[in-house]
Chains A and B, each alone.
Chain A
Amino acid sequence: MYEISEIIRCENISKTFIVKKGFFEEPLKIQALKNVNLNINRDEIVGLVGESGSGKSTLAKIILKLLKPDSGRLFFLNSDITNASEKDLSSFRKNIQVIFQDPMASLNPRRRIIDSVSEPLFLQKSPKVSEGLERCERMLLKVGIESKEFYKFPHELSGGQRQRVNIARALVTEPLFIVADEPVSSLDVSIQAEIINLLIDLKRELSFSMLFISHDLRVVRHLSDRVYVIFKGEIVEEGLPTNVFSSPAHPYTKSLLENLFEV
């Protein structure tokens, strides 16, 4: 047995949003996350399932250090980065990547594909220009983008191609850890399958861990090594996908599964 090293650990993370603030009224608050504990190990795909509004994306943003949790702590490779300044985060930033839900909105509409893909590489690893571009091109070819598309703009590609570009951009820096925030939910079903298989192939080839966020149970079951179920900001279930989906313990998971089979 090899020793499992932990990439990300969340401890008791809570986050409340103030929705409305008036001078005299009580501020209206929404608790997005309640004492969330979650960990992601090396080389592991962790699925996070929940309906919309359950706090999945908030958790993703907190893990990416785009939002500050109200309480709780976040660890990266066993060092506490909850209150780290941007300067101290440089090794964290170099080792994480993100794939967003909307492939169009996550690419800068005014930049060519190759420029978008090479952006993180030149920012974080600063290789020689020719070397860096070659790496980007190899990665783009690997995810199935042909070389004639390299100099196009995002609006000239199809949705599936754009998501492939996003995947190439996320993987080109060889990160330790990727947050995939509903990467397939805006694509149609046949393309969803292609993207999922691409992710599985790439995972086999390059090693990285991933937090895969989705509301689609089938996708999560197919892909992940371990599953968390989140309901109204709380993690209600955790375990291997076969266990969680064959014998769900929490009523919410059960209802999720029932809804699935109705379809």
Chain B
Amino acid sequence: MLINDLASERWLKMFESTYSKIIFKKISQKKTAKYSIYFILALILISFLYPIFSKTGYDEINLDKVLLPPSAEHWFGTDALGRDVFTRVIYGGRVSLMVGFVSEGIAILIGVILGSLSGYFGGKIDSLIMRLTDVMLCIPTFFLIISATAYVEPSIWNIMIIIGLTGWMSIARLVRGEFLSLREREFVMYEKAIGNKNFIIMFKHILPNALNPVIVSASFGIAGAILTETALSFLGLGVQPPVPSWGNILTSGKDILEIAWWISLFPGLFILLSVLCYNLIGEGLKDALNPRQYD
């Protein structure tokens, strides 16, 4: 009797009063974070939809139209091989967004797993994982990445994996800290007392409560990953031409900056704006997810 009413009601209730609703409200109150989210969403939409609607390919060479300044036909001008810079920047945006999300995803996966093991079990497991983290933190990340690219073919997937594998340490530390405090809470004791399994307690009960700082850190992490990828591509160690990325478009324009400023300016602007937006989103999330501001 009771159940049938409730089962249908359940889905409605799910949306009535949730944390996510509070967080959305908080975020939309903060203008910089709100517009940053709009910008990133627009960038994602454009970079994934543009290739469907546009006929020009990113590697379409047209030697009649070399180094044309921005015009109605070529919004961002053309480069030394007559390729449309706007098209290349949009395709490059795809690379950068993907690198940001995938490599940060890898970093979060590793960081969360190691951090929760370390914080929940403590003792020897904790020391082992934390020493590993310390060692990884000792090596300057960028040089670690550069030396890693010496061993693997510099493709976009390898770059994502390398950036992910070298970026998990701060997340592991954050998660460990959260677990250390949450595992002493009474609801965790309760789950232990009724005989729940450790892994269920860790990932079903503690982890959802430990995710706030991870989400904030992920937002900053994506910005960092985009910058790293750009820097690698600029140095020629990242995404290889003719596949465009913001970094290698910048490189291709750096020698002819005086005659064709538009080749470097536009990818540079996009790097600046997207990194700035991710940082502003992170800043906004930091306030919105702060539990002290709920009441």
Contact = CB atoms under 8 A, between A and B. Distances in A.
Contacts of A259: none
A58 interface: no
A120 B190 CA distance: 10
A3 interface: no
A199 interface: no
B195 A151 contact: no
Contact of A124 (B9, B195, B208): B195
A96 B193 contact: yes
B8 interface: no
A123 B195 CA distance: 8
Interface stretch (A23-31, A75-83, A106-114, A249-257): A106-114
Contact of A133 (B3, B13, B195): B3
Nearest to A175: B194
A86 B208 CA distance: 25
A134 B4 CA distance: 10
B150 interface: no
Interface string A87-117: 0011001101110111001111111000000
B187 A108 contact: yes
Nearest to A121: B194
Contacts of A138: 2
A123 B191 CA distance: 10
Given A108-B209, A110-B19, A151-B13, A66 B187 contact: no
Interface in B260-285: none
Residue among A108, A134, A151 with most chain B CB within 10 A = A108
Contacts of B192: 66
A134 B190 contact: no
A130 interface: yes
Interface in B1-55: 2-3, 6-7, 9-10, 13-14, 16-19
A137 B6 contact: yes
Interface in A149-199: 150-153, 155-156
A36 interface: no
Contacts of B195: 86, 89-90, 93-94, 123-124
B6 A150 contact: yes
Nearest to B195: A93
B186 A124 contact: no
B131 interface: no
A109 B6 contact: no
A152 B3 CA distance: 17
B186 A106 contact: yes
Contacts of A111: 205
A100 B189 contact: yes
A64 interface: yes
B194 A123 contact: yes
A111 B10 CA distance: 14
Contacts of B19: 110, 153
A120 B194 contact: yes
B2 A137 contact: yes
Residue among B17, B186, B190 with most chain A CB within 10 A = B190
A111 B208 CA distance: 9
A18 to B, nearest CB: 14
A108 B205 contact: yes
A61 B190 CA distance: 11
Contacts of A126: none
A61 B192 CA distance: 11
Given A66-B192, A156-B17, A100 B6 contact: no
16 contacts: A66-B189, A66-B193, A96-B193, A96-B194, A98-B190, A100-B189, A100-B190, A106-B190, A109-B187, A110-B19, A111-B205, A119-B191, A150-B6, A151-B9, A153-B17, A155-B294
Interface of A: 61, 64-66, 86, 89-90, 93-94, 96-98, 100-102, 105-111, 119-120, 123-124, 130, 133-134, 137-138, 147, 150-153, 155-156
